């Protein structure tokens, strides 16, 4: 079953009908059945069941259960059924809690109508992963080894010793790592999983292993299969042959996301055969010119003469995966005369798992409570935290694990910072480079990333809340005004670092947008002079010192008094200047809540 946004509601009483209307108000894609004869409940249930609709019954649990009892078949195919008492106090998932989405819908409906959701599923109540739906939710194929799905789930929910092996990363694995249960230990190699130490292994992997403990295997779609072949190559037996060879090499066909080749091969029957046999969702076709630029480990002059590329299978696999290396280099096959074919495998670049890793984390404006959940997790797991000196409160690093190294970069140049990070990644350890606000705004990460690229060190960025957002919150301001100001400019004054001519302040000021000026309080006189060319002297200004820190101070003034206010309060670094009519505005109201913008409900 796949959870949809449609609800079929059967109320038993007038009181229940009012509850149904409240649900419909929150979820407009709701059909309410006006039940005039209660003896028709079973037939209405059966009709909705046949159409695989999500059923919300409002009335007695006994009537609900008796009505659906003859319809029950299998938890994998039965639709979600939820029962709500007629007063709307309790919302109870009855059937298909996980797979059909009844648990999730029960929580959503309860929140919408101010009720209590009564969830009896153990994994939901203990905050554990829902292993039976994890694959479907993340687009992973699911396999088991050494036990049935129910046996493995029972082992997990009973909090037996569990290892987590992630050998390919995607959005799903990042969500897993955001909430790892205490009884789960992450491992980085299958050899670490010993039967004396673990009772269960959860593996997210495209690779085939011999498992020594009961294992739940998820197959993410992260592999690119590059294919080349003779013209009109006969397909008989090739799919089976490739599958066997891939298995011998340690790759699951269930993890192939894309089949890739050159354009002159796009109509070959072999491509369609492989796509259908392996259930491959995507096909990538490249020109010979595109593939020509890819350097392959096993070039062929003959292939280059025909296709323009010196290696179709290898080049197309790498180009499709966005990587410069292969997991499986070119394999040649020929099951009958004149029907030669080749294949190669690459893993998508963003799916590769690197034990040595640098995570740039946006610390937010200063308050430790404003860092993201993911950023906090990286800090807690890091072997090295390198934080941006006086710009980042040291309190943000106090969640470091025992034994972690925590260093300020205030007295380090770029070369020293990179050398320190490399000393950790070379030992397969994790590094957090902690920047104030969001790293992409005056974060000086460009030159760091260039060096990491040069050294082939893997990195990723976790965004943070910028100080301009903290300023809007502190000023209780919306930085846009309908029909007056619809643009926010993030910029700085021209100090030692020259500004491009087209971005000089007096030119940006011509729009009279809301302007947030970073790193420039020491240039207050210059800024005031340039902005007054276009902004009226009475334009509101806010000087925001150390936003969200304990020392936070905000000074409100007007543009004509900007420099004077800076001097009077001895404002220096870590002060943002906000200029514009939107600062503190309450007159320009949005039309968002006008009647014509409201969502209509339907029966």
Domain with CATH 3.40.50.11220 in the chain: 7-120
pTM above 0.75, yes or no: no
The residues, ordered by sequence, that sit 6+ positions from 487 with a Cβ below 8 Å of its Cβ are 480, 511, 513, 514
Helices (H), 322-445: 373-381, 414-425
CA dist 432 and 476 (Å) reads: 32
CA dist 104 and 119 (Å) reads: 9
Which among 445, 438, 435 is positioned nearest to 466, based on CA atoms? 438
Which CATH architecture describes the domain 7-120? 3-Layer(aba) Sandwich (3.40)
| Structural contact between residues 21 and 32, judged by C-beta atoms closer than 8 angstroms | yes
Positions of the chain with pLDDT under 70: 1-4, 35-39, 122-127, 586-603
Pick the CATH number of 357-465 from 3.40.50.720, 3.30.1600.10, 1.10.357.10, 3.40.1010.10: 3.40.1010.10
Query: CA triplet 550, 552, 554: central angle to 5 degrees?
Result: 160
Q: Which helix (H) or strand (E) holds 566?
A: helix 562-568
Q: E strands within 519-571?
A: 540-545, 553-558
- CATH 3.30.420.180 corresponds to the domain 223-347: yes
Give residue for tokens 């397909």.
235
Class of domain 131-219 as given by CATH: alpha beta
Give residue for tokens 């670092």.
497
Which among 175, 177, 188 is positioned nearest to 380, based on CA atoms? 177
User: Residue 250: phi, psi to the nearest 5?
Assistant: 95, 25
Class of domain 472-579 as given by CATH: alpha beta
Residue 603 has a pLDDT of: 38
**First-last CA distance in the chain:** 25
The DSSP-derived string for 245-302 is HHHHHTB-GGGEEEEEEEGGGTT-HHHHHHHHHHT--EEEEE-HHHHHTS--SS--HH
User: Residue 364: phi, psi to the nearest 5?
Assistant: 85, -175
Question: 384 pairs with which residues across the strands?
Answer: 405, 431
Domain with CATH 3.30.420.180 in the chain: 223-347
| Structural contact between residues 385 and 400, judged by C-beta atoms closer than 8 angstroms | yes
| Structural contact between residues 45 and 9, judged by C-beta atoms closer than 8 angstroms | no
**184-187: strand order across its sheet:** 141-145, 215-219, 200-204, 162-166, 184-187
Question: 540 pairs with which residues across the strands?
Answer: 558
Which among 40, 39, 32, 37 is positioned nearest to 16, based on CA atoms? 32
CA dist 201 and 479 (Å) reads: 50
| Structural contact between residues 520 and 563, judged by C-beta atoms closer than 8 angstroms | no
Which among 56, 73, 67, 60 is positioned nearest to 10, based on CA atoms? 56
Which among 588, 578, 569, 491 is positioned nearest to 541, based on CA atoms? 578
Q: SS3 string of 35-59?
A: CCCHHHHHHHHHHHHHCCCEEEEEC
Per residue in 124-137, pLDDT (tens digit) is: 656 688 898 899 88
| Structural contact between residues 41 and 87, judged by C-beta atoms closer than 8 angstroms | no
Are β-strands 215-219 and 223-229 bridged in parallel, bridged antiparallel, or unpaired?
unpaired
Query: CA triplet 321, 322, 328: central angle to 5 degrees?
Result: 45
Give residue for tokens 């040069």.
454
Domain with CATH 3.40.1010.10 in the chain: 357-465
CA dist 269 and 146 (Å) reads: 38
Tokens of 415: 């070369």
CA dist 313 and 309 (Å) reads: 10
Residue 151 has a pLDDT of: 94
CA dist 261 and 312 (Å) reads: 6
CA dist 85 and 108 (Å) reads: 16
């Amino acid at each position: 079953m796949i959870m949809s946004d449609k609800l079929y509601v059967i109320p038993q009483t007038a009181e229940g009908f009012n509850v149904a209307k409240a649900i419909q108000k929150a979820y407009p894609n709701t059909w309410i059945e006006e039940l005039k004869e209660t003896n028709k409940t079973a037939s209405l249930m059966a009709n909705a069941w046949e159409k695989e609709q999500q059923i919300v019954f409002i009335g007695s649990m006994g009537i609900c259960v008796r009505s659906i009892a003859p319809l029950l078949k299998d938890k994998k195919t039965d639709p979600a059924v939820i029962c709500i008492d007629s007063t709307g106090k309790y919302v109870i998932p009855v059937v298909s809690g996980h797979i059909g989405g009844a648990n999730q819908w029960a929580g959503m409906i309860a929140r919408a109508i101010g009720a209590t959701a009564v969830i009896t599923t153990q994994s939901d109540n203990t905050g554990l992963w829902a292993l039976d739906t994890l694959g479907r939710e993340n687009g992973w194929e699911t396999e088991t080894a050494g036990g049935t799905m129910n046996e493995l789930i029972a082992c997990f929910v009973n909090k037996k010793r569990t290892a987590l092996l992630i050998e390919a990363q995607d959005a799903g694995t990042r969500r897993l790592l955001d909430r790892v249960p205490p009884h789960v230990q992450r491992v980085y190699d299958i050899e670490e999983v010993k039967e004396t130490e673990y009772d269960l292994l959860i593996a997210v992997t495209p690779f085939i292993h011999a498992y020594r403990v009961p294992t739940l295997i998820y197959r993410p779609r992260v592999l690119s299969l590059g294919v080349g072949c003779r013209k009109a190559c006969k397909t008989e037996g090739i799919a089976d042959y490739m599958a066997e060879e891939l298995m011998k090499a340690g790759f699951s066909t269930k993890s192939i996301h894309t089949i890739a080749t050159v354009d002159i091969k796009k109509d070959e029957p072999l491509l369609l055969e492989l796509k259908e046999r392996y259930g491959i969702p995507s096909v990538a076709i490249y020109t010979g010119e595109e593939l020509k630029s890819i350097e392959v480990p096993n070039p062929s002059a003959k292939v280059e003469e025909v296709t323009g590329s010196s290696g179709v299978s290898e080049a197309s696999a790498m180009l499709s995966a966005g990587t410069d290396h292969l997991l499986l280099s070119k394999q040649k096959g020929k099951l009958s005369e004149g029907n030669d074919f080749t294949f190669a495998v690459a893993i998508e670049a963003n799916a590769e798992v690197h034990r040595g890793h640098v995570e740039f984390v946006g610390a937010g404006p200063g308050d430790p409570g404003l860092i993201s959940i993911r950023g906090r997790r990286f800090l807690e797991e890091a072997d090295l935290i390198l934080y941006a000196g006086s710009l980042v409160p040291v309190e943000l690093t106090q969640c470091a694990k025992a034994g972690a190294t925590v260093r300020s970069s205030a007295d380090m140049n770029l070369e020293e910072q990179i050398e320190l990070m490399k000393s950790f990644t070379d030992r397969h350890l994790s590094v957090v480079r902690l920047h104030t606000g969001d790293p992409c705004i005056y974060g000086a990460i460009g030159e760091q990333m260039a060096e990491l690229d040069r050294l082939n060190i893997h990195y990723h960025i976790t965004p943070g809340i910028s100080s301009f957002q903290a300023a809007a919150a502190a000023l209780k301001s919306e930085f846009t005004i309908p029909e007056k100001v619809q643009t926010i400019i993030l910029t700085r004054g021209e100090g030692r670092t020259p500004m491009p001519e087209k971005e000089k302040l007096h030119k940006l000021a011509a729009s009279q947008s809301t302007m947030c000026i970073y790193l420039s309080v020491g240039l207050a006189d210059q800024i005031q002079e340039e902005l007054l060319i276009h902004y009226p002297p009475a334009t509101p200004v806010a000087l925001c010192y150390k936003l969200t820190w304990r020392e936070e101070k905000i000074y409100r003034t007007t543009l004509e008094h900007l420099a004077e206010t800076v001097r009077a309060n001895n404002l220096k670094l870590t002060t943002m200047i906000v200029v514009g009519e939107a600062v503190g505005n309450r007159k320009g109201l949005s039309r968002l809540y006008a009647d014509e913008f409201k969502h209509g409900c339907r029966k």
